[in-house]
């Protein structure tokens, strides 16, 4: 019965840990930077009417 539980819970636990680590990494990027209030994150850069449009947002804290 214990092995069945390990087989069933193992992949779910591994997926949870990977997603948790990814989110923690993404939230921690640039948090150490001295100019954090002036940093922006580029979301998209695409041509529109012959010009490149860059959609940006302030770095979330």
As a whole number of angstroms, the distance between CA 60 and CA 20 comes to 18
Going by pLDDT thresholds of 50, 70 and 90, the confidence category of residue 45 is low
CA 10 to chain centre: 24
Going by pLDDT thresholds of 50, 70 and 90, the confidence category of residue 17 is very high
Span 18-36, pLDDT tens digits: 999 999 888 877 677 787 7
Radius of gyration of the chain (CA): 20
Q: Give the residue from 23, 22, 27, 55 showing the smallest Cα distance to 41.
A: 55
- pLDDT at residue 12 greater than cutoff 80: yes
pTM: 0.50
Each domain of the chain, given as residue ranges in start order, spans: 2-58
**How confident is the model at residue 58, as a pLDDT?**
61
């Amino acid at each position: 019965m214990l092995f069945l539980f390990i087989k069933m819970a193992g992949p779910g636990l591994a997926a949870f840990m990977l997603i948790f680590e990814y989110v923690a990494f993404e939230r921690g990027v640039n948090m150490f930077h001295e100019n954090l209030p002036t940093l922006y994150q580029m979301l998209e850069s695409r041509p529109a009417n012959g010009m490149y449009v860059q959609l940006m947002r302030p770095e979330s804290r």
